Amino acid sequence: MRRFSQRNSLVTLSDINITPLLDLAFVLLIIFIITTPLLEQGLNLKLPAGGQPDSPKLNPRDIRTIDISQNGLYKFRAGYSTPEAIAAELRREQVRNPNLLVYIRGDQEGALKYCAAMLNQLERAGVVNISLRTDPTPRR
């Protein structure tokens, strides 16, 4: 009679197959790569119609965008702030980068006083290159 050793069955159990773990890691990596840009969106604004499309000569690294909601919330970069704090930060950036361009995107349903307050603070801080953004008119 032949004796079966339990050693062979233990040896095969001690090896861990990492292929499913790698598959899971790659799937999670792809999911995070796809969803990260979706998390960094600005406010959902309805811009007034009119204006011209952007010039292709502009360097996107020189552009800073301020979103102003219809309720008067000021969004700059990743968070909400006051016009005074935004203007002070943009002034510091303009000292380092004289080509800095500030886009102000105000909701068309919002009161003009919110955009005027932001423009006033930027003027006081000495920020000179400012553009009020609109939805460009369609070309015929």
pLDDT digits (tens, 9 = 90+) for 92-109: 999 999 999 999 999 888
7-11, 107-111, 117-121: least confidently modelled range: 7-11
Q: Looking at the structure, do residues 66 and 128 belong to the same domain, yes or no?
A: yes
Q: Quote the number of domains for the chain.
A: 2
Q: Looking at the structure, do residues 67 and 124 belong to the same domain, yes or no?
A: yes
Q: Looking at the structure, do residues 73 and 112 belong to the same domain, yes or no?
A: yes
Q: Looking at the structure, do residues 66 and 35 belong to the same domain, yes or no?
A: no
pLDDT digits (tens, 9 = 90+) for 44-55: 777 788 777 777
Domain annotation covers residue 108: yes
Beta carbons within 10 angstroms of residue 121's beta carbon = 20
pLDDT digits (tens, 9 = 90+) for 66-83: 999 989 999 998 889 999
Domain annotation covers residue 137: no
Q: Domain limits at 25?
A: 7-39
pLDDT digits (tens, 9 = 90+) for 121-136: 999 999 989 988 888 7
Question: What's the CATH number where 100 sits?
Answer: 3.30.420.270
Beta carbons within 10 angstroms of residue 5's beta carbon = 8
Interatomic CA distance for residues 68 and 45, integer angstroms = 8
Q: What percent of the chain has pLDDT over 90?
A: 44
Q: Looking at the structure, do residues 11 and 71 belong to the same domain, yes or no?
A: no
Q: Looking at the structure, do residues 84 and 128 belong to the same domain, yes or no?
A: yes
Q: Looking at the structure, do residues 71 and 128 belong to the same domain, yes or no?
A: yes
Domain annotation covers residue 74: yes
pLDDT of residue 45: 77
Domain annotation covers residue 80: yes
Domain annotation covers residue 49: no
Q: Which of 73, 64, 74 is nearest to 103 (CA)?
A: 64
Q: Looking at the structure, do residues 128 and 64 belong to the same domain, yes or no?
A: yes
The CA–CA distances, whole Å, from 102 to 11, 14, 45 equal 66, 61, 17
Domain annotation covers residue 19: yes
Q: What is the mean pLDDT of the chain?
A: 83
Domain annotation covers residue 30: yes
